[in-house]
Amino acid sequence: MKYTFLKIDKGLIEIAKIEAKKRMEFGFREDNQGLDYKYNMILISCIGELVYQKFLLEKKIDFSFTDLDFKGRVIIVNNKYIEISTSGYNTDFSRLNLLYNDKQYEQTKGIDVVVQIFINGYNYKSYEFNDGLCNTGVIAGYIDFTDIKKYPVIPNRRRPNHVVSLDNLKPVTDLL
């Protein structure tokens, strides 16, 4: 699998913080894990979405937003509705997976593909995200949305998820 690495600068993180604050006000994500955890997960998601947009801009690929109030959660490229899934990592992402919540999968409509992005700066043991350590985004690949259901649902620390190995993702350049 060929991964795409992109540099994350402080400007991108600052834009993500503005969006994360906005999303906190609208109650995205469950907050049963505490507000700090919720904010960190939303911020990580926002950074990943901006990383993918940066990738498309660098490749000169046109895209549009499905929701102008929450830009980036789902975007349209070549008439495909693309959801961005972002996970944080500390020093190595290669042994991680694409995780997709089983309940969310059943409720989601209209998505064609899910792109998996990893960003550094996240300590999974303490559940803390240090944006000062975040400088790399990795686009690991994508999966057709309908294929996610082929993968087993495995409970983890937070919730049951479909677990897709990175080896089963397609190169993101195939979407271009």
What are the structure tokens assigned to 15, written together? 């834009």
- Total of domains in the chain: 1
**% of residues, the chain, pLDDT over 70:** 94
Chain position carrying tokens 């400088």: 135
Q: Where are the beta strands (DSSP E) in the chain?
A: 4-7, 64-65, 74-77, 80-89, 97-101, 113-120, 122-123, 128-129, 136-144, 153-155, 160-165
Q: What is the pLDDT of residues 141-170, one digit of tens each?
A: 999 999 999 999 998 767 899 999 999 999
Answer whether 0.75 is exceeded by the pTM: yes
Confidence of residue 88 (pLDDT cuts 50, 70, 90): very high
Q: What is the mean predicted confidence (pLDDT) over 4-12?
A: 97
Confidence of residue 73 (pLDDT cuts 50, 70, 90): confident
pLDDT at position 33 is: 67
For residues 52 and 35, the model is more confident at 52
Q: What is the pLDDT of residues 96-141, one digit of tens each?
A: 999 999 998 999 999 999 999 999 999 988 889 999 999 999 999 9
Residues of the domain holding 19 = 4-175
C-alpha distances in angstroms, 17 versus 39, 49, 118, 154?
9, 12, 17, 31
Alpha carbon distance 131, 13 (integer Å)? 7
Do the beta carbons of residue 122 and residue 90 sit within 8 Å? yes
Secondary structure class of 175 (helix, strand, coil): helix
DSSP-H helix ranges across the chain? 10-25, 35-58, 102-107
Lowest mean pLDDT among 16-20, 28-32, 49-53, 57-61: 28-32
Alpha carbon distance 33, 57 (integer Å)? 35
